[in-house]
């Protein structure tokens, strides 16, 4: 009997370890000097296909169910977590991007959807409807990195950085699980206002 109890305990501990082995990195809350992502940004025409690529990847992952959605669809916090494999529901995209950068964080919206807030150096739980995940975001050099981890171990990474003296915003999007990369997209946005004019300032 003791052997059976020991074996069962070992199995349960092993399963628990598997469920908690993946963690997100804590990102810096310190804004690099001179870096301001604020602006109205427009996706380049030759990158419009990337929006469809993101949508297709998400639809395939959840059985052709639409997954790129506005935060207007977000309900109240669920009583329990949904099972994993749904990190795609936290991915938004569009042709028009608006970013407001403050001393403490970023406000980002695509195509005039509900604004999503990211706090520099944050580590918190987020949800879209019944789907919950862990979120970390912050600075890595001149790049702002947002990572979202679901219960199934899939990680959505979004990286924003400036090029060409602040006239171009580069957005890199990855979805990975273990050693497998399920999505890899780069989008280029051109600034639609004079450099130095922050949104809402």
- Enter the tokens of residue 155: 């990680």
Give 173-189 pLDDT, tens digit per residue: 999 998 888 899 999 99
Nearest in space to 197 (alpha carbons), one of 31, 51, 41, 28: 41
13 vs 21, residue with greater confidence: 21
Output the CATH code of domain 39-191: 2.40.128.20
- Amino acid 194: pLDDT: 57
CA angle 108, 178, 146 (to 5 degrees): 15
Sequence ranges of the domains in the chain: 39-191
Residues 6+ apart with CB under 8 A from 59: 65, 66, 67
Q: What confidence tier does 97 reach under pLDDT thresholds 50, 70, 90?
A: very high
Give 105-150 pLDDT, tens digit per residue: 999 999 988 899 999 999 999 998 889 999 999 999 999 999 999 9
Q: Rounded CA gap, 170 and 168, in Å?
A: 6
Q: Is the pLDDT of residue 44 over 50?
A: yes
Confidence (pTM): 0.74
pLDDT, average across residues 26-49? 91
Nearest in space to 29 (alpha carbons), one of 91, 103, 88: 103
Helix or strand holding residue 128 (H, E):
strand 122-128
Q: Is the pLDDT of residue 62 over 60?
A: no
- Amino acid 17: pLDDT: 41
Q: Rounded CA gap, 34 and 166, in Å?
A: 10
Q: In this structure, are residues 100 and 107 in contact, taking their beta carbons and an 8 Å threshold?
A: yes
Above pLDDT 70, what percent of the chain? 69
| DSSP 8-state class, residue 139 | E
| DSSP 8-state class, residue 28 | B
- Amino acid 83: pLDDT: 41
Q: Which residue has the tokens 């992502």?
A: 37
């Amino acid at each position: 009997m003791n052997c059976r109890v020991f074996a069962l305990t070992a199995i349960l501990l092993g399963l628990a370890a598997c469920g908690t082995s993946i963690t997100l990195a804590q990102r810096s809350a310190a804004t690099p000097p001179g870096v301001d992502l604020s602006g109205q940004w427009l996706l380049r025409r030759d990158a419009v296909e990337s929006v469809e690529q993101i949508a297709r990847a998400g639809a395939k992952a959840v059985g052709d169910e639409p997954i790129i959605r506005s935060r207007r669809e977000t309900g109240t916090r669920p009583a329990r977590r949904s099972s994993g494999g749904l990190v795609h529901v936290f991915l938004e995209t569009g042709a028009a991007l608006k970013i407001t950068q403050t001393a403490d964080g970023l406000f980002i919206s695509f195509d005039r959807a509900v604004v999503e807030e990211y706090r520099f150096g944050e580590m918190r739980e987020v949800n879209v409807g019944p789907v919950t995940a862990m979120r970390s975001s912050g600075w890595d050099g001149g790049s702002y990195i947002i990572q979202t981890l679901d219960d199934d171990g899939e990680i959505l990474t979004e990286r924003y950085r400036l090029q060409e003296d602040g006239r171009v915003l580069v957005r890199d999007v990855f979805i990975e699980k273990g050693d497998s990369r399920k999505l890899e997209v780069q989008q280029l946005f051109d600034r639609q206002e004079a450099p130095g004019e922050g949104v809402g300032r």
